[in-house]
Structure 1
């Protein structure tokens, strides 16, 4: 075999559990499991001799397959199942040969194997999602009252709390979990329909055999062929990309709040962690950068899913092969992003003092809306807005405090409305936000 390409990003930040699920061994094993289940179902139905079915089931293991030969012959055939079946048949005693893969087509085996493999992948993603979500829930709970500047268009807007900010991520993760559950259920569908989707080669027992194979493999049976109907696959792959995007939004937040001029959070510290080869002071947000790199890649790959859905007639002509490349990568990227995002969240350093300092960095302008609302009761919203707007312009020019300027320029009857407010007085109800997000996260379907 030729040397394998090194995938540095996933190699460094990927998930070992997902790597096992997507491995060559598990891929081949999934095909063998389908062949064994098919033989069992056909033996029970009397399509092949029951004793032959038992021998096929016992023999359908990785020990019967020579890997180098399988891939050498696959390169010639174009698909791996014919070479796989030939090796499996050769491993049988002579009296039991010729009954492996009876009535099946290559895509029946590969798609049913895909259903097995990506059901396991979805389960692993669910485990990783739970870990990341629990870490975010811990941050939301611990910092429900930690006041921070909320920012819109990258500029300070109004006060909020770090816990309420984290609750937004937790709500998104709860929705991601629901999407993943739906996609996992859809992808767990058996495919046994024969060469053109008619099931003709399976004979009169086609429906019974398909249902029994699904039962043996713990998949869902359907009587509608899906050799070229790849919406289930596209749904699963799209959810993988969505998961990485959620992780990237969190990672971007960490990077932005870690900026030297802001310094409100930081990734976990450690000797030479995030170090530069030339700038000794650097402690770069390396895990956040890796998550964003995985999400950028997953987003680009996901566009292929919709091209794959264009496959025509009763069999794809190239679109199917694209799945072989795209789906494993999307799964690995989603797993790596979730695992790394959890690591970021669990190790995150939060600096409330810096948050407080930054709230006071702009002449108190972060309280502009609060004062406008207070003045609006007396002046009306539009006049109050214009008054605060002009006061804010003056503060930026002179460095004066907003409240002091407003008390000076406000009409006499409205001065009392400019009461002294701290940022903590204008954060809404962060506990309601946090508690609602926690409730959604902890809900069990």
Structure 2
């Protein structure tokens, strides 16, 4: 049997996350790109790079713009990226003398990378809130246990020494605390222009970059990062580590609900087609699988971080395929663990 993600896929029962998935749709991507163009034209007008009259017309066109999705899809297959179609369609709504002022000095990668950073910033904020909720759920789990309840610590799969429920759960909570302490806080705007050297953006570049970044709630980078994917990979690593932390807790629970150990019970479990007595810890299993899935995708993302020369179509395309999978899967694993902990109970000795 083979499972896949996508429309009507059975695994969506465990990986469906409308809040995060909504940030990685074509609609969200286009909206963020338009926000970038709006911020750019405002900054360029303020600095006198383009006429204020032209800027006002362009801002109005952006505000009213509705993209032709069919044309976008057809153009994407030819261009390999969305911005050329987006720019062509919006430019067609401008008077001819205004068109040169739109998208001035920038290129597709500026829109694409800035868009993804805007949406990654939102994703981090959402998962950070989910981690706070999980931390509270773990406190509630301890509170539901018997006073002074002792568990059996296990090292290298062998019984070791006694450990309290608070100590066991405290180990889990420490990983959540570390995730919150190390959450990404650097989301750079991309403003490098066609060749990545920002030669067509005018002077002073730093002022323009800072203005655009501030308008988008992003950071102004110290250098153009079109082929330096460290900022993006670092954010993805945090999500993968979050999935690992969820997987560690779920893996411990899988051990503790084993029939012959029975230190913990779960509110729900899966049935067997042949053994009616079984109550399989399916959600815990899925959380561990989600962590390992993220690990596998991260290998690809690290590979995709190697861009040749000043821009790579191959590495870039691979990055787009893998990044949403890591973010969505890791984010959902936090939700899944919240659900699992909510129905967990340490068995009274």
TM-score > 0.5, shorter chain as reference: yes
CA deviations over 1:244-301 (Å, ceiling 9, x no partner): 11111111111111111112212213xxx51223332222112111111211110101
Partner of 1:228: 227
Aligned positions of 1:321-360 closer than 5 A? 321-353=317-349
Q: What SS class does the counterpart of residue 169 from structure 2 fall into?
A: helix
CA contact (8 A) 1:140 1:164 kept: no
CA deviations over 1:304-331 (Å, ceiling 9, x no partner): 2321222132212411112101111111
Q: CA deviation at 1:7?
A: 4.8
Partner of 1:301: 297
Q: CA deviation at 1:54?
A: 2.3
CA deviations over 1:314-350 (Å, ceiling 9, x no partner): 2124111121011111110111100000111111022
Q: What SS class does the counterpart of residue 100 from structure 2 fall into?
A: coil
1:173 paired with 2:169, answer no
2:84 alignment partner, one of 78, 82, 85? 82
Partner of 1:134: 136
Q: CA deviation at 1:166?
A: 0.5
Q: CA deviation at 1:229?
A: 0.7
Change (3 A) 1:305 1:158: same
**Aligned partners of 2:115 and 2:218: how far apart in 1?**
10
Gaps of 5+ in 2: 1-5
1:160 paired with 2:156, answer no
Aligned positions of 1:348-387 closer than 5 A? 348-353=344-349
Partner of 1:117: 119
**Aligned partners of 1:138 and 1:59: how far apart in 2?**
52
* C-alpha RMSD of matched pairs (Å): 1.9
Change (3 A) 1:223 1:287: same
Give the TM-score taking structure 1 as reference length. 0.73
Partner of 1:22: 24
Gaps of 5+ in 1: 354-445
Partner of 1:358: none
Partner of 1:283: 279
CA deviations over 1:107-142 (Å, ceiling 9, x no partner): 111111111111011111111111112212322455
**Number of residue pairs aligned between Structure 1 and Structure 2:** 343
**Aligned partners of 2:120 and 2:9: how far apart in 1?**
21
CA deviations over 1:379-430 (Å, ceiling 9, x no partner): xxxxxxxxxxxxxxxxxxxxxxxxxxxxxxxxxxxxxxxxxxxxxxxxxxxx
**Aligned partners of 2:61 and 2:134: how far apart in 1?**
41
CA contact (8 A) 2:176 2:245 kept: yes
Larger Rg: 1
**Aligned partners of 2:27 and 2:325: how far apart in 1?**
17
Q: What SS class does the counterpart of residue 47 from structure 1 fall into?
A: coil
Q: CA deviation at 1:223?
A: 3.8
Which structure dedicates a bigger proportion of its chain to helix? 1
CA contact (8 A) 1:266 1:285 kept: no
Q: CA deviation at 1:177?
A: 1.4
Structure 1 residues 311-320 or 25-34, which shifts more? 311-320
Partner of 1:362: none
Partner of 2:105: 103
CA contact (8 A) 1:142 1:163 kept: no
**Aligned partners of 2:195 and 2:101: how far apart in 1?**
21
